[in-house]
Amino acid sequence: MPSFDVVLEPDMVAIKNSVANAEKEIGTRFDFKGTSASVELKEKEKELVLIGDSDFQIEQVSTVLIGKLTKQNVTVNYLDMSAKIEKIGGDKVKQVYKIKAGIEAELAKKITGAIKNSKLKVQASIQGDEVRITGKNRDDLQLAIALLRKDFADQPLKQQNFRD
């Protein structure tokens, strides 16, 4: 029975390259000279830490980082930028961006609901942090992929493990 998995998984190599390029630009830009402006990737915790001297500088570092991520074809939807800017001592501030990996339970329920409401001849089941979609033929699965791309355009969903 043909199936595929729907996952939410960022390209960590591209993110690492983006952070390195952002660090390089921050190091050479005149307005960041002599400041504590920096970007750090914590891979194990899946988060980006932006450090600066002020809220305005954090925004500037964020703009540089987002530009570098866009050039590496990493959508900004992978980042949870809702964290507040916090003081870390002296006049330094930091902001932490979480990197989303894995489909959250609420989004997984929305995906399975959309598949069921579509009246396609496919079934969706939640398996941990991914959703497996199975059907009798390949054409139905391709229609399901098209439906997901249309209904969840704001989410950077990927399809993998397409099996016939």
Q: What CATH architecture applies to the domain 3-8+102-163?
A: 2-Layer Sandwich (3.30)
- 11 pLDDT tier (thresholds 50, 70, 90): confident
| pTM of the complete model | 0.79
155: helix, strand or coil? coil
Do you know the residue count of the chain? 164
Question: 43: Cβ–Cβ under 8 A, 6 or more apart, which residues?
Answer: 12, 16
* Superfamily, domain 12-99: YajQ-like, domain 2 (3.30.70.990)
Residue 82, pLDDT above cutoff 90: no
Average pLDDT rounded to a whole number, residues 60-74: 92
Per-domain residue ranges for the chain? 3-8+102-163, 12-99
Burial of 105 (0-12, 13-18, 19+ CB in 10 A): exposed
Instruction: Round to whole Å and give the CA distance between 52 and 84.
Output: 14
Tens of pLDDT, residues 129-141 = 889 999 888 888 8
